[in-house]
Each structure stands twice: as C-alpha cells, then as structure tokens.
Structure 1
Amino acid sequence: MSGDLQHILRRIGPEASGPRILLLLGEEGIGKTWLLRAVAERSAAAGTRVLSVQCWSAEKNVAFAALRRLFPVVPDQTSSTASASESPERTLIIVDDVQDCDQPSLTALCWLVRCTTERPASILLAARGDAAPAGLPSEVEVIRVNPLGLPSAAALLDAQPDPPTGRPRLELLQKARGNPSALLELCGDHTAHPRRVEHGFQRRIDAFPPETRRALLYAATALPDEGLAAIMAALGTDDLSIWAPAEAAGLVQIDGGQVTFRHPLGRTAAGRQPADLRYRAHRDLAAAATAAGRPAAHAHHAAAATLGVDEAAAQALRATAWASRDTFTAARVLDQAADLTGDADRAASLVDALLAAAAVGDLDWVRSLHETFIRRTTDPALVCLAACAAAATLSLASYQTEALDLLLEAADRHSGLADGPLSLTVTTIAAAIAHQSGLPEHYRRVLEKSARAGTLESVEATTVNTVNTVNTVNTVTDVLTHLNDADLRTTLTAYVSVITQQTAPAQVIRRLDPPRLGTLSEDLRRLLLRLAVAAVAYHADEPATSLAQFRRADTYLRARGAHGARAWLLSPLLDTLLATGRWAEAEALAATALDHAAVLGMHRVVSDLRAFDLTLRAVRGDADLDGTAATPGPDVDLAENGATRCRWARARATAAFDRGDWSDAYRWLRSLFTPDGEPEHPYLSPRAIAELAIAAVRSGRTQDAARVLERVRDQQGERPTTRMTLLMHHASALLDPATDQEAGFQLALVNPAGEQWPLERAQTRFSYALWLRRGRRTSEAREQLAAALETAEELGSAGLAAALRSEMRASGVATAPEPSAALSTLTAQQQQIVRMAASGMSNREIGEQLFLSPRTVGSHLYNIYPKLGVSSRHQLRDLLEAG
C-alpha cells in the first residue's frame, strides 16, 4: 500500500505538474480511506491546501450537497469554486465514497480542476466497487487499490494486540483475503473486540427477506469448492430470485455457477445466525453432498453438525482429508478429526494432524498440537512420529539444537525402536538437521544413532506396526512408520550415509536409479524417493539429476501449499540453479518462496533466501547493492545454523568481489574454514576453495590459503566429485608452488563436464588468462578472455564482464560499439530470443522455453549481435529499454 501512496503523491503531489483527477477503486475496507488520509497529511505538510468531504447515500439526490459541505462557509457553488480558485497555494480536493456524490457537485468540482491553470487544483476521488461511477470525465486516471500481499497482511495482523497464532492465525489470514478492514475486524472477533464494519454488513443482511438470509447462510457455510448447484440443492429450491436482493446490494455475485461474497466480512456476517440454523445448514449441505457423491464435503458438514465426540465423523474426516490439493485444508481437517476422536484413539489422530501441520510449516500450530499430544500417550512409535514432525518444523524455524534433542531423546527413550523402518525415518530427519547446523557434535550424535540402528549397514524389511488401526487411512503415518518400499529404504540409507560422510557421494549416486523416477506417480512414497535421490545427486554434484528431481518435487509441493515440506528442498535447489547459471529461474523461485516462509515463521529459510538474493544481485553486478547492509536477521542464531552462516559468508564475499574489495572477500571466504583450515561445513565450505584462492592472490594471502587447500584435499578424500576436482585444480594452479601452474589451469578446463558450472568455468578462464598475459602470451590470453566474456554476458554477470572487458582492452582488444536500433530486421523468433536474453535468461533457459538447444540459441545470438550493433546482453537490455 505504501507503493500506491508514493504513486499518488507523484501524480498529484506538490511536485506534480498540472491539474489531475485521480480515482481510487477498490472493495470496502481495502484501504482507500487510509490512502486518502495519508495523502492529505503529506500534502498539507508540503504546503498544499487540502479540502475533503465524505459523501453519503442519503444526499445523493440533493443538488450540491457535497459541495456545500466541502465549502461550509460559502453558501453557493459560484462562491465556492471562486474561493478555491483564488487561493494563493496549490489546492487538493479529496472526495471519499464518490459513488454516493450528487452529480451537480461532481460536475462543478471537475470543472474547477479544468479551469484553475495558474494555481492548479487536483481532485482525489475514492469509490467502492470494480467500475468507475457514472458521470466522471474521460480524463480520470483510475488506480485500483488491491488487497494486501500475504506478508503485509501477516505483518498487520501480528502487530495487533494479542493476535492469534498457529491454526487460528492462518485461518484468519485466509478468510480476510488481504482486506485490511476484514483482517482487523476478524482479529477483533478473536480478541472479543467490537466489530464495527461487520455490523454494517449485518444490518444490510437483516433487511433482506427471510429466504435471502437463509440462502446467504448456506452460501457462507458451504466449502469454497461447493458451487451454486450444491447450495441450491441444500436449500431445496431452484428459484434463483432468492439471491436478487443480495446481488442488488452488492453483497454477492452469482456468476459461472458460483456464489461469491464480494467482501470477506459479508461472508462472516451472513454466517452469524442462531446455532440451530447453522447446524441445520450443515446437515442440509451434508445431505446434498451425499446425494451428489462428494464424500469430502459430506464429511466436513457432518462433522460440523456434530456435538461432542463422534468416532464415525472423525473417521470420515481422516478418510477424506487428503482429497484436497491444499495441505493447509488437509491439516485443518485432521486437526478437527482429532477433536472429535475419543481418548483411546486421540493420540494417534493427533499424529496425523501433526504430520500434516508440519507439511504446512507453521511452528506455533505444530507446537500446540505436540503439547496436546505428549499429554495423551507414551506409545513409542507415535512419540517418535510426533517428534519427527516437531523437530522438522523447529529446524525450519532455526532451532537446530532443540530439534535434534527432541528427536533423538524421543528415539532413545524407546529402545524397542532401535532398528527398523521407523528408526530410519528418525535418522534421516536427524541427518538433515545436522547438515543444517554443521556442528560436529550433531554429526557425532547422528552417527551414533545410525550405528545403533544399523542404518549404515543394512535396513531390514521388518515393520513397526504399533500405530492404531485408525491411522491406516493416513498415508503419511503409514509411510513414515513402515517404509515398506525397498527403493525408498535404500535411497534414504544412502542419503544418511552421504550426509554423515561415511560414503563418497559420487560412489553412492552410481548405485541409485534416478531415471526410473520420471514415470512414477506422485504418491508420498514416490515423493520421498524423488527428494532423497535429488539430495544425493546434489551432494554428488550431478546437477542434471538433482534439478530434474527437485523441480518435479517442488512443482508438486508448491501446487499443494506444502510450504513446510517444500522448504527442505529450496536451498539445494537454489544452490544448483545459481551454480548452473539458471539465474532467472532462481530469482523467481526465491521470490515466491520468501512470502510463505516469512508468514509461517520459518526464520532460517527466510535467512537463506535473503542470502541467495544478495548473492544473485552481487553476481549480476547490481549497481544499487550495499552488501554490508544485508543481515541474516535477528531470529537466526548462526552458531547453530552453520549452513546458513556459510551461505551468508559466501554472499558477502560475492558482494565484496563485485566491488573489488579483495581483502573483505578473503575475510568472508576464510570464515568458511576453521583457523587451522578445516571446513566449517563439510559440503558448502569446500566449494568456495577456488574463490578463496582468487581472493588470496589478489590480497596477498596465498600462504594461508594454501594451508586451507591442503585440508580441503584431505577432506575430499580419494574420490572427489568432478566439480570439486575442477575447483581444486583451479585453486592449486593459484596457490600450490609444487603444482605446474599451466597444467593446473588446463586440468581445470579440459573436462567438458565443467561447462555445467558456467560461472566457475569463466572464473577459471579469467585466472588462466591473467597468468598467460603475465607470461606475455597475449594471443592465448585473449582466447580465454573472449570465452569467459561470452559466458559472463550470457549469464548477466555485469561485474565479471566489466573486469574481463577491462583486461581485454589491456590486451589490445577494441571495445564493443554502442547499441543501435535494428530490431525490425530480425525474425519473430530472433526478437523473442532477444527479449528473453535481455531479461537475464541464459541460453539453456531460453532453449527450454522455445524447445531449442542451447547451442542453437547461442548461434542465433551470435548472428543477432552484429545486426543490432551490440556485444553483450546488458547492451541488449539497454537497447530494448531505449526502444
């Protein structure tokens, strides 16, 4: 909303030129009045004369009613308009609820704006609805005031006194639909504060005929996917005229077989009717759902019409919970089922809800359910499953030590689970937590747990069948308890082995069979298998396999709103996208994930995403970047979040690279290793070794960096991945006096597999070119510089490209010509490629969109550049912006 305010001030503020008429359009309570007030305050403070009036429907047919209240001292229109036009300062006239303004007043005000040229006046109008009121002049500029985005809505809600948390908070955000007024009213409802706006809707509804009020109650009670036909069936009528009063009043819209409430509080007010009527509505909707063969809707309404414990209703809810594609809805249904379940089976039912809430990712909700659960049972399998859900969510919120303690203590207290599939589930989650923390103590504890469970040696096909039979309808509980899928058990075992550094990733990945996943359905077992294969491939530096599996899993989880489950794949997926040059895809992915992570309180995920944003802006050479101002945030303890700490160190080093501060870059990169050179994180730290070497050479710290390189070699062992082999060759050529430097550079460049990591290859070529030029081998240096520059421009790495151009000029290469307009000479496909390249997409990403090979895209660009008189992607962007 602050963006709307700034736009309005630019259009009609003190610095704006000429008179203007602006109209704010939006639903009731969306924030129009707040914007009017803010504009008035800012304008008055800048010396503008502000006149404002609120219109009322009762005066709509009273000529000049609004104008008389706008100028209360002056009795008639002529004097009023003269008073405004003769004012010595600029004038701003604000009219709220202009849809209720009388036409003569509106005509006079618009005439005033047109006539005041020496001392311009502007008008700012606001109206409810989707369309501009009749009678406005054609020059009116319309600004639509949209609902708040999810993060802004959550921030507004959380700023209220005693706001709701957990499930009630998420339900409130869903109901409010980004409407600030609805958000505050519903929050007031939660805290028993008065509901002013909702009472206005209630008065309107009370004036409708009884049959319309009943229809609105049923519409408010219906599920979102229950359309007009289902509601009419429950009402027992086909007479659509019952909706006419509500439609005429603008309360609902009947269109496309749906009944839509125009305002969230309209739905809430329609549903506030006596209990007997509400329960009757649920019973009628349940009967209609049964007749239409919709079991999920029937289970929902039957449960809502139930008083007290009802095992049959609870069982129906559990059986249909996952019929919804929305994980939040499934978790809410399972939470409701637990409330309806008797004491004997309630603990098992709570585990269902816990696992679903963990998939959503809200820690407050998970904590609340877990606290209720631990008072209900000591069943070993259930306790461990509940601990898995709680620990996974704690980890996303940054509490790694608490998460690991909870998980391993739950397993240790129940020695009967020392081996078997459920123990493998516990060990897998514990390994993921240790990987995030990076703490040696955490790795040691996971190894001990693995040894006791026999996880690293073999996995028996036995099952732990202690979960109550009511859980058999729930796939999550069944899968995590039994793991009765040989491929899944094998792959999870491989994952734990890789994370705990017991097996080299390159060795493990060869024993898996990832191509088979392309034809598998996305049930939970296959999803877990997909994630496990992707994670092993990520650690084995096999980006093609990792990306294929992570992307499929991400698409599946994002479509279902499983933000907590999705959060576990975001960092490795973004790592891979950045490393392989898919920066546009990485940027879009991080942006969409950040909103949900912030709303759900996944603090370490938010911090990781901000680190990725800083890294991406730095490698692109963002001119406005201030890398020193970015921080991980106060909610993340970096001491127990080593992976996040490493990502921030790498991001700050990249920002220092961009500004040419080699000493600062070395300081941040060196922090990825202990004082004696050991990697702080076994996976993330070693992959910075080449950048550490570059910064060391530029800042004169080669001796210290050489010691780090030796430790990295030892840590990688005899079977490093291809990527690590190339990075260590590059670092050795820069740091190791015992290495033949030219041989080191050539070994770092000879393997064509290195093209998978284009930025790292470009940096290697740059280092080699500098070495060649120092040896007066200028021609060979130019070849390396040209190849590196082509990659840097394709990626959109402005800082690296500028450094390469500077080095090329020093090598005697002429600079590129300025861009010129020649787009019309290109074919339609070539123009499309130009636009996509200018937007920052790589050749590979363009090829994936247009079904072309990256080589074909590169060939097109090679032919396009001379036609346009450009030599880089940044010049393409400038050319399009100039056009």
Structure 2
Amino acid sequence: MTSPPPPSGGPLVGRTSEAARIRRFAGPPGEGGPVLVVTGDPGIGKSALVGREAGALREAGFRILRAEGCETERELAFAGLHQLLRPVLTQAQMLPDRQRDALLSAFGITAGPGEPDPLVLRVAVLTLLSHEARSRPVLLVVDDAQWLDGDSLDVLAFVARRLEGERISVLGVVRGGSAPPAFAMGRPVLELGPLDADAAGLLLDAQPHRPGGPLRARILHEAAGNPLALIEFARAEGGPAPWPVEPLPLTERLEQCFTGRLDALPPATRQALLLAATDEDAVAGLPPQVWRPAERAGLICVRDDTVRFRHPLIRSAVYQAAPLTQRRAAHRRCAATLRDAPDRRAWHLAAGGTGPSEATAREIERSARETGKRGGFASAALALQRAADLSPDRHERARRLTLAARLAVPTGQTAWVEELTDRVRTLSEDPVLLALATLYRGQALALTPRRGAAYPLLTRTARELAPHHPGKALQALATAALICYYQGDAGRRDELRGEFFRLGGRIGRRPEPDLASLWIRTATDPCSDRAGLLAGVRRLAGMDAAGPELTAATATLAWLLDETGLAMGLFDKVGGSASTPSPLPEGLRCVEGWVCLDHGRWDRAAAVAAASARAAAESDPPYTAAAPPALDAAVLALRGETGAARAAALRALDAVAAPENRFVAVRARWALGMAAMADGDHAAAFDQFREMFTAGGDEVHYRESRYGLADLAAAAVRVGRHEGARGIVDRLADRMADASPRQRALLSRARALLADGDGAERHFRAALDEPSTGERPFSHAQTQLEYGEWLRRRLRSGRARPLLTAALETFVRLGAEPWAGRARAELRAAGIRQSAGVPERLPALTPQQRQIVRLAARGLTNREIGARLQLSPRTVGSHLYRSFPKLGVTARSQLRDVIDGRPAVAGRFALVEGGSGEESGSAPQQHSA
C-alpha cells in the first residue's frame, strides 16, 4: 500500500496521536489487522477525524468507499452495502454470472432466479473489492455503523475475516457502547476520549466568536472536552450568562445529539430528571423505580442511591427541554431541600425568582464572601455579580460589582474584570468606589501584554487612595512593582521606588510585617537592604495564622531574595499537588516551578508547568500562556530533551513582547542556551546567553539576567570568546557588592572560568564555599564539574576525582544526562572507569527509547507519552517492552529508580591508571560515585 501523508491543513486539535494511528493502520503493512473500529460519545469528533484522514488517504491514491448508517434504513436489507458499493457497481459485469446475479438481485437492480445464496453474495462482494484493489488500495469507511442494517453488517463481517494479503482496509465508526458485535467483535478499537484542557482551550480560541470571562470557564467545564459542544456553545447567541445552577443552553445541533431519547420516557421520570438536572443532590427520597427508564435509555447512572448523568450535555439537554415555569419551580424545590447548603440554596432562590430582591441579593453576597475566603474566587465573583443584578438600589449594585471585580482579579479573566469595572463607572460617582474599581482593573491588566497601560493607572490610583485606604494604595503600588519585575526595566524600577518612598511619607508607618511594602521593596531591588527584607520575610513565614495566599506570597518573596530552601519549605507548607489550584494568580504560579527547578525537584517543576499551561488554556489573558513553556523548556533542557526544550522556549518567546516581559524572555533564552550546551553546540549557547545582556553589557532584566552570568562564561571559554564574557562579568561585578550568596557564587564561578593561570582556584573555592549552595544542587554540581575539569587539566587528578564523583552523583540523581556524560568522561580521563559489573544502561537505548523511558518514569501513561511525542500508545508500549531488558527492570514502577535514583548507572568507579600528577596516587583506589 501507499504510505499516506499527513492531511493537508494540519491535524485536528488534540487528535495528533489518533490521526497517526489511523494512518499507520491504513499504511503498509497495516497496524493491528485490516479492520479498525473508531468509537466514542456523540460529538466527540469521530466523523471529523475519520473524514479528514480519509481525505488524506484519497490524496495519497486510495479508493475510498463510504457508507453511513441511518436509523430510518435499519430495516432495509443491504441498504448500507448498496451505499458502500454503489461507486463500483459498474465493475460488477466482470464477476462470474452467478456472483453478479446474486449481488445485483440483492440490491433489486435485477431480478434473480430466486433467493440469492448468502455465501455467493458474500463472495461476490469480496471478489468485487479485490478486483478494485488491484489498481490501488481500497479503504471502506462505515460511519454510524451501529445503525447499519443487519444484512449489510453480516456481509462486511464475512469480508473483514478474509482480507489477509488484500489491499483492503475497513474503518468503522460507532458510538460508544454501540458497536455491532458481528462487525466489531475482536477488532482493534481506537476510542476517542474527550479533549484535554490544553486542546479544549485551543479549539475554543479557534472559533470565530471566542468566549471570555466566566462564560469561557463554564463552556470548558460543561463541554467536558466534547469538541462539538465546544464549537456549538461558542456559536450560541450572546446574552447574559446563565446562573451557575443552570446548565448552558444547548444549540439545536446539540439538542439533536442528546435529547432524542427523552420523549419516550414516562412523565414522572422526566420530572425527576429535571430535578436532578437542576441539582443532583436534591433528589434524595425519590423512589428507585422512577429512574429505571432513564437508566435503560443510557441517560444516567444510579450507584448507591446517587444519580449521575452520563455526560454534562445530557444534563443540559434535560434542563433545556423543560418549560421556563417548570425550571423555576424546580429551583424553588431545590432551595427548600438544600437548607444545609447555603451557597447553593442562595443560587436556587435567585434562579427561581422573577425579579430584583434585596433579601436574595444579601443572601448571595453572604454566600459569596464565604466562598471567597475558601479561595473560590471565580464562584464568589460571579455570585457578587448576580447579587448586583438582583439589587434594587443603584449604589448597592455598584458596591457589589466592585467587590466582584476584586475577586475576579485572581481568576485571570481580564475581560470580565473590565466589564465589571465599566459597569461600576456607569452606576456610581463615588470617588473612592471608582478608585477601587480602577485599582482592580489595573491589577487584572498587570498580567497581560497591556501592562504598560496599567502602570500609570496604578500609580495614579495609589495617590488617589492614599488618604482614604492606605492599604489599598500600597496594593496599587505593589501591582505596579509586579509590572516592573515583569518588564525588568531598571529605569522604571527606580521611578517606582521613588513613588513608593514619597507615598510612604503620606501614609505613615504601617504595621509590621507589611506584605505590600515588602513586596514593593523586594521586587524592585532585592539586593538593597537584603538583611532587612529577609528579616521581614522570616517574620511573615513565622506567622501561625497565615493562610495559603499569604504563605505562597511569602514563598515568592523568599525566592526573590534567593532563599531557595525557605521558599521551597513554604510552598510545601501550602500543600497539595502541582495539579491542584494554586493560591497564587496563574501569572505567578510558575514561581513555584522555578523554585522546584533550583531545588532539584524537577518532576514537580514539570508538573507545575503542565498545570499552569492547563490553567492558561482556561483563562483569558494571553500573558499566562508564556510562562509555562519557559519553565517546561528549562526542565527539558537540563534533562537533555533538547528538541522539545527548544520548541517550548520558542513558544514562550512567541507569546511575549520582550520589552514588556523581559522576565520570561530572559528565562527562555537561558533555556535555549542550556539546550545548546546539552547538545555540545557551545557557539549557539554563547549567543543565547549573550541575549540575556544588552549590547553594552548591562542586564536585560535587572535580576534575572544575573543568573546567566556563569553559563555565559562557560560557553565563552569553549569557543574562545573570553573577552566578550569578561567585559560583562567585570561590569556586573561592580553592582553586585550587596548581592545574595547565590549571585556571589555565580559571579565567582564566572571569574574562575575566565581567569588566567592559577588564579581560577581561589574563585572556584569561593563559589563552592558560599552558604546555601547545597539548596541548588544542579548549579553546585556544575561548579564541582568545572573545578574538577580545571584540576585534571593541571594533572591534579587526585584532587579532581572527589569533585567529579560528587558532581556525577548529583547529575545522575537529577536526571541531567548531558552533564552526567561530561562527568563520566572527565572521570575516565582522570584514570577512573566504571566497574565492569555495572552496565551503562541508558546509553544502550535509542534516543527515542530514552525519551519514552524518562516520560514513563515521571508517571505519564502511554497515551500521554504518545500525545507528546506524536506516537500511538501501542508504539510507546512496544518501545517500553523492548527497553525493559536493556535497563534490567521488569516493571514500569522500577523506571523511577533507573532515571531519578539510578545508583547503578553512576555505579562504583575504580582507578585503573594512576595519573602522572603529584596528587594522583600510584595504587588502585575505590571512589564511590
């Protein structure tokens, strides 16, 4: 067969691995046999995927024969077979007479001598298809096979069992749980699941009318990854968003998919379903028999007296099908039932009412405040917005909208915050209320590319609020300081510090420790009065009553001060996994990941990047899409996955305007430089690290650029560009007198690498002796490796071996394979080789197998690995199966030991030749690695 190319126009969003699976199935020699069944829920994209791939196969030279099952034709014998073979029936004349007559009479085209012989008919179909396949491969596509007539299915089953050696494939498409046994039994199945969060967000963004604000989150939640639902919800006419206890209204196309089975249900069951669709927890006490018709229809599942809809869209369909009066009555009944759940009760009261009500508005506001205290910012903001809608008084409406805007800021839905503050301006002339609304607007804009416009807005608002709300005024400047940090512009940083000190004189002394003041001072200049700032951070960290938001903010301050151990401990204290919601705004969530990267917890750093990327897919501001790939690129580069690292770093750079977000731009450049170092391309690495500094040698970002100083020097000495790096190091050294121990260690390492003669040793020792270097194991191991290399080149192998061995241990533990390879090579050059009893296992794998093993060791499933590497889950499993013997493992659970712990990979090293240096020794020694 002809191997098909990928379809033109790019793959469907989120279906790369599934499309590749179909192409491999149709190409030579065909993966898994001649039949593949594609299954999934209604609207999941089965027909779109199969249609797109069939079109690509047609372009590659395949003959495509299609049939589509139809409920109204299920009783017509051979209706589906006729639809499938109609384009080639003119070729029936070449069949033997008996076969031709059987085939044509089955379709009623000719009158046969009698009932067609079933066997002759089946052989006729197979012969006809085989004749067609002589000139080009044939693909039979049977869509909605669950509705094909039984006679056609029997013929197809006969043909499918006899396709060995034929250039004929059968691709069946069926709804989940509906595959006809005669056709699909024992066949390979490609099950299409829902799109993941990233793909769902991309598909939603690709629609002509891209939804934003809380509606976007509602669509993503209720569509539950169903592509048709995402597209149709985005196409729905605008208007006020439904209440949170009301499902989104379905379009006509969605209703056709999900409401067809409702009409046949008894009235009592439909009424019960409406109550369950209104609130699944409000149906306790209904008799079990009322649910059975709906359960038989496949609409719900009942387990342990709990009713759950099989898909959120079924719930929406049930709710939408009921008249408005019945829906309101259902909400009032739920409100009466849920007296122990005040949050939901308030919403049901609102949904069941018919007009403004201050009493209901007060109850919703009270519920919203409690929800906000628990970190449910989006729900609380939406509740306050609805409370405002129900408020008869104009001032109360403006006040509640202002509170809603404050709670909407951490959700990252900038357009929503702008909408809320615009409404405040139309309702109120109160200067304080308007200033607060402007503050929240500026805070929302700070996390977007429009932060340049937010900066003057915030500084002006700080001056307006200072006499009335000193704390809010400082919040405005703290957000302006955040903008300064993103931009990394030293000039604006100095301007803001002057504004802060002037405003401080008007505000007076604040209670200690004051988070906003600490943030402003630390974010704008973490080296100025570092001891005083650190004391304030430690006071915040020691507060017993600190909630998760304050703890996470304190951890961020500790990170800015290069107190990695303290920051890591505080993030651990916040608790939860990387996939759980963070108390930090999503624009700042990656701070936790950078702390994990520095601290040597790379799996968690990668998990934070993935969680942040998922959150970015669900949020509105474009900025949040830039930080996660920059973090992911750094992890991938250090692990040696350089192709993926470069792709992620370039995505980060594409997502930001460098002057407006020097922080992400510098971090992405560093990742690109480390990827080049991992590949041994030191010239490219130098170029990337050089981008972290201006043409004149200043920092592009007043803090972040300093962390590339030593790596710039390391690349420079490899390509003979010492002077280019030395000028930058000398220029920055004058500014780093009050730098953190970490920055001093990096400066000493850079000076050591660029030093002439034996002057380097003093700087290497200074770098290794700086306090807290052990909190950043990779950076510390880099210094050990470079110092060991320097010693070995001066024939001081005895001094070099412990340093190189310690560096290797760290690199192996972290999974920094390129640097571990360098350390092994240096140890061999120093007269040490790995003990013969311990094989080098990872190098025995192919590059793709190594990549798959690393991902599997991080806990990714075969499907997740396949999606990342554009392979089928089956191919991933095959690579793992072949890798296990080479690695000496028998179970997937052992891979983490091989990759992360891997004491056997480092092994024990033996001195096989004494070096000629004075400290190398003359007898064999053992050095544990």
- Give yes or no for TM over 0.5: yes
- Pick aligned residue for 2:80 from 49, 53, 66: 66
1:157-172 correspondence runs (5 A): 157-172=204-219
Cα distance in 2 for residues equivalent to 1:687 and 1:351: 41
Cα distance in 1 for residues equivalent to 2:459 and 2:577: 30
- Pick aligned residue for 1:526 from 533, 541, 547: 547
- CA contact under 8 A between 1:150 and 1:595: conserved in structure 2? yes
SS in 1 for 2:354: coil
Distance 1:865-1:150 versus aligned 2 partners, 3 A rule: farther
Cα distance in 1 for residues equivalent to 2:543 and 2:409: 27
SS in 1 for 2:589: helix
| Structure-2 residue corresponding to 1:338 | 388
- CA contact under 8 A between 2:382 and 2:404: conserved in structure 1? yes
Letter of the aligned partner of 1:328 in structure 2? A
Cα distance in 2 for residues equivalent to 1:422 and 1:568: 21
| Structure-1 residue corresponding to 2:760 | 741
Cα distance in 2 for residues equivalent to 1:635 and 1:346: 37
- Pick aligned residue for 1:430 from 480, 491, 494: 480
Cα distance in 2 for residues equivalent to 1:399 and 1:27: 41
- CA contact under 8 A between 1:360 and 1:561: conserved in structure 2? no
| Structure-1 residue corresponding to 2:63 | 49
Q: Does 1:214 align with 2:271?
A: yes
- CA contact under 8 A between 2:808 and 2:820: conserved in structure 1? yes
Letter of the aligned partner of 2:716 in structure 1? A
SS in 1 for 2:146: helix
Cα distance in 2 for residues equivalent to 1:373 and 1:441: 34
Distance 1:115-1:415 versus aligned 2 partners, 3 A rule: closer
Cα distance in 1 for residues equivalent to 2:720 and 2:235: 62
- CA contact under 8 A between 2:562 and 2:742: conserved in structure 1? yes
Q: Does 1:536 align with 2:557?
A: yes
Cα distance in 2 for residues equivalent to 1:614 and 1:731: 24
* Aligned-residue offset at 1:819: 4.3
- Pick aligned residue for 2:728 from 693, 698, 708: 708
| Structure-1 residue corresponding to 2:426 | 375
- Pick aligned residue for 1:779 from 775, 785, 798: 798
| Structure-1 residue corresponding to 2:45 | 31
Structure 1: runs of 5 or more not aligned:
462-485, 844-856, 867-883
* Aligned-residue offset at 1:146: 0.6
- CA contact under 8 A between 1:92 and 1:121: conserved in structure 2? yes
Range moving further from structure 2, 173-182 or 771-780: 771-780
* Aligned-residue offset at 1:573: 1.9
* 1:752-779 CA-partner distances (Å, limit 9, x unpaired): 7322222212221232223223322233
Distance 1:399-1:353 versus aligned 2 partners, 3 A rule: same
Q: Does 1:198 align with 2:255?
A: yes
* 1:782-805 CA-partner distances (Å, limit 9, x unpaired): 443333223222222222223333
Moved over 6 A (4+): 455-458, 820-828, 830-833, 860-866
* Aligned-residue offset at 1:203: 5.0
| Structure-1 residue corresponding to 2:129 | 84
Range moving further from structure 2, 90-99 or 294-303: 90-99
* 1:535-591 CA-partner distances (Å, limit 9, x unpaired): 2211222222101223444739964576xx442443322222222222121112111
| Structure-1 residue corresponding to 2:619 | 600
Cα distance in 2 for residues equivalent to 1:15 and 1:592: 39
SS in 2 for 1:139: coil
Q: Does 1:353 align with 2:404?
A: yes
* Aligned-residue offset at 1:343: 0.8
| Structure-1 residue corresponding to 2:926 | none
Letter of the aligned partner of 2:267 in structure 1? P
| Structure-2 residue corresponding to 1:877 | none
Distance 1:536-1:183 versus aligned 2 partners, 3 A rule: closer
Range moving further from structure 2, 607-616 or 660-669: 660-669
- CA contact under 8 A between 1:19 and 1:114: conserved in structure 2? no
* 1:299-351 CA-partner distances (Å, limit 9, x unpaired): 00111123332221111112112447744333322221222223111222112
Cα distance in 2 for residues equivalent to 1:195 and 1:517: 58
| Structure-2 residue corresponding to 1:260 | 308
* Aligned-residue offset at 1:623: 5.3
* Aligned-residue offset at 1:137: 5.7
Cα distance in 2 for residues equivalent to 1:620 and 1:109: 50
Identical aligned residues as a percent: 30
* Aligned-residue offset at 1:280: 1.4
Letter of the aligned partner of 1:425 in structure 2? Q
- CA contact under 8 A between 1:279 and 1:305: conserved in structure 2? yes
1:616-631 correspondence runs (5 A): 616-622=635-641, 624-625=643-644, 627=646, 630-631=650-651
* 1:99-140 CA-partner distances (Å, limit 9, x unpaired): 233444323212212223231433222222346444456421
| Structure-2 residue corresponding to 1:570 | 589
- Pick aligned residue for 2:283 from 231, 236, 261: 231
Distance 1:557-1:328 versus aligned 2 partners, 3 A rule: farther
Letter of the aligned partner of 2:753 in structure 1? L
1:12-31 correspondence runs (5 A): 12-16=26-30, 19-31=33-45
SS in 2 for 1:393: helix
- Pick aligned residue for 1:9 from 23, 34, 43: 23
Range moving further from structure 2, 11-20 or 655-664: 11-20
Letter of the aligned partner of 1:763 in structure 2? Q
- Pick aligned residue for 1:283 from 329, 332, 349: 332
| Structure-1 residue corresponding to 2:914 | none
* Aligned-residue offset at 1:31: 0.8
| Structure-1 residue corresponding to 2:896 | 836
| Structure-2 residue corresponding to 1:763 | 782
- Pick aligned residue for 1:505 from 517, 525, 530: 530
Q: Does 1:665 align with 2:690?
A: no
- Pick aligned residue for 1:127 from 144, 166, 174: 174
* Aligned-residue offset at 1:661: 3.2
Letter of the aligned partner of 1:686 in structure 2? R
| Structure-1 residue corresponding to 2:703 | 683
Cα distance in 1 for residues equivalent to 2:411 and 2:289: 41
Equivalenced residues, count? 804
Range moving further from structure 2, 491-500 or 273-282: 491-500
Distance 1:210-1:674 versus aligned 2 partners, 3 A rule: same
Question: What is the aligned-residue RMSD (CA, Å)?
Answer: 3.5
- CA contact under 8 A between 2:435 and 2:464: conserved in structure 1? no
Cα distance in 2 for residues equivalent to 1:800 and 1:681: 27
Cα distance in 1 for residues equivalent to 2:693 and 2:745: 20
* 1:241-287 CA-partner distances (Å, limit 9, x unpaired): 33333333223333344333334443333222322222212111111
- CA contact under 8 A between 2:835 and 2:907: conserved in structure 1? no
Letter of the aligned partner of 1:579 in structure 2? D
Range moving further from structure 2, 551-560 or 785-794: 551-560
Q: Does 1:389 align with 2:469?
A: no
Letter of the aligned partner of 1:351 in structure 2? T
Cα distance in 2 for residues equivalent to 1:599 and 1:173: 7
SS in 1 for 2:427: coil
Structure 1 length as normaliser, TM-score? 0.83
| Structure-2 residue corresponding to 1:881 | none
SS in 1 for 2:189: strand
- CA contact under 8 A between 1:205 and 1:213: conserved in structure 2? yes
- CA contact under 8 A between 1:384 and 1:407: conserved in structure 2? no
| Structure-1 residue corresponding to 2:921 | none
SS in 2 for 1:126: strand
Cα distance in 2 for residues equivalent to 1:37 and 1:49: 14
